[in-house]
Amino acid sequence: MSIDLITLANQTKVVSDLREKLAKARSDYANVRALHGQRGYDVVIGGARITVADMDPHTYQAKLVRGCEMIHLGALKALDARVDGLAERVKHEEQKLARIAAGEKP
């Protein structure tokens, strides 16, 4: 029961990189959900820029542009799927790392 340190180091790097991607995906989701603060946000579809949320000049708060509600919901759904997929990959790779650290075959 020996531990392959090179494999362990490589797997640790994989887990670390995936955790960073997951943190970024969660941040992106939170940003879109909050309409990107006062700035609002745009979506680019096929080269066309569509403003989904924009700052209301009277309240200084972001507000969905009329007719863009479904784009906003689609963006949230896509980002949520990315978060779920990355969380599943992180879990799988962490389990693989634990097996390597225990001296088992990955």
The whole-model pTM stands at: 0.85
Please count the structural domains in the chain: 1
6-10 long-range contacts, CB within 8 A, separation 24+: 7/100, 7/106, 8/97, 8/100, 8/101
Tens of pLDDT, residue by residue over 47-97, are 999 999 998 888 888 899 999 999 999 999 999 999 999 999 999 999 999
- The whole-number pLDDT of residue 1 equals 59
Least confident interval from 16-20, 21-25, 33-37: 33-37
Q: Is residue 34 part of a domain?
A: yes
Instruction: For Cα atoms 21, 76, 78, give the angle at the middle one, nearest 5 degrees.
Output: 60
What percentage of the chain has pLDDT greater than the value 70? 99
Q: Is residue 106 part of a domain?
A: no
Q: Is residue 84 part of a domain?
A: yes
- Domain span including residue 37: 5-101
Q: Is residue 69 part of a domain?
A: yes
Q: Is residue 63 part of a domain?
A: yes
pLDDT average, residue stretch 2-19? 92
